[in-house]
Amino acid sequence: MNKRPPRNGEKLEIEKNTLLVDGNALFKTGYFGAKNQYNHEGVHVGGLYSFLTILRKLLTEDLYHRVYVFWDGNFSGKLRYEIYEAYKSGRGKDYINGTQPIDESELLQRRMVWDYLNALNIRQLKDEVIESDDFIAYYCLNKEPNEKITICSSDRDFNQLISEKIRIYFLDLKVYVDNVNFSSYFCYKQENSALMKIMTGDSSDSIKGIKGLQETGLVKFFPELKERKVTLDEIINGAKAQQKERIENKKKPIKVLDNIINSVTDGIQKEKIYDINYKLVSLLNPLITKDGIENLKELIEGTFDIEYDTKDAFDMMKRDGLDKILGDFRYPDFLIPFKKLIEREKRIING
């Protein structure tokens, strides 16, 4: 919102509002959450329907000037795999041949979502080796001063990026989390988000942490994690101090504190766990290639055909039976938020 009228012909600096979508997370939320959503021909369209419905919900809840959707490629995560061979091993990732959805319906619907987003003038990007998280992180770290960002995902790694002008819409919680309400959802200070992952690991990505250490235990031993930014050295030195105190009071040392001090893990990182985990989890230093950066810049600076509208998307909805799923009342107005987004794009292009 403009705070004052322009003076002496100066240009007003309008605050930009940008939505960054973790495409894989949003698609999986819909695909696995709407397993029983079929069109009139008996074809499963739950992933497509839910993706568009949730995206539409976000567009109606706030005024966005740009929307970007980022996807994982067939070899995404390879840059982390080269650092840590167990990366995402629990998900069956294949960094030799590439990872493709096994289910033909899932593969088809992913392609359909891509086509719909193109028809709706929504920018999207996929790289073979760069993860969507890193594109989103790089964008946030290089955002314009007058830009506010909402990240749509279910990935807690993005907690590291929260700031006064960056918030997250968590798909699983169905809430917006920012620097004001963060403590209502997490047991530590937002500034310690990366440190928590470095020390406790991330089971969803098969990243091992310190042996026997969980988030709740870490906060129990170091309650300052809830109050201020804490460094790794402070944790290690604090663990040493606690053990020394226990010995002086003739109490048995706590094994997990010894593990913190001696970098003990069940993972293949061994004594290098802190250095390796930092490289794996820190989104303040995203793993992205020069080509990836160039492709992202082209995506940001490029423009669509300003004559493009939502007609093709409406035709696709009829083709895929989404008009009947939405019903006669919802269908005609379903794409209005997307159309408004396109109109804002035209105004930007036309100055």
Residues forming a β-bridge with 19: 67, 150
Give the pLDDT of residue 305. Answer: 62
CATH architecture of 16-187+286-349: 3-Layer(aba) Sandwich (3.40)
Domain residue limits, the chain: 16-187+286-349, 191-281
pLDDT tens digit string along 184-236? 999 999 999 999 999 999 999 999 999 999 999 999 999 999 999 999 999 99
pLDDT tens digit string along 147-177? 999 999 999 999 999 999 999 999 999 999 9
Least confident of 101-110, 215-224, 241-250, 332-341: 101-110
Q: How confident is the model at residue 349 (pLDDT cuts 50, 70, 90)?
A: low
CA dist 84 and 93 (Å) reads 13
Q: How confident is the model at residue 4 (pLDDT cuts 50, 70, 90)?
A: very low
* Amino acid sitting at position 7: R
Question: Span 301-324, mean pLDDT?
Answer: 85
pLDDT at 102 over 90: no
pLDDT at 93 over 90: no
φ and ψ of 39, to 5 deg: -85, -175
Q: How confident is the model at residue 1 (pLDDT cuts 50, 70, 90)?
A: very low
pLDDT tens digit string along 7-37? 555 544 578 999 999 999 999 999 888 888 9
What percentage of the chain has pLDDT greater than the value 70? 94
pLDDT at 3 over 50: no
SS3 194: helix
* Amino acid sitting at position 265: T
Question: Span 36-50, mean pLDDT?
Answer: 93
Q: How confident is the model at residue 96 (pLDDT cuts 50, 70, 90)?
A: confident
pLDDT at 303 over 80: no
- The alpha helices in the chain, defined as continuous H runs, are 23-33, 46-61, 78-81, 104-119, 132-141, 193-200, 215-221, 232-248, 255-262, 273-281, 290-301, 311-319, 322-330, 336-349
Question: Span 325-339, mean pLDDT?
Answer: 91
Least confident of 119-128, 155-164, 296-305: 296-305
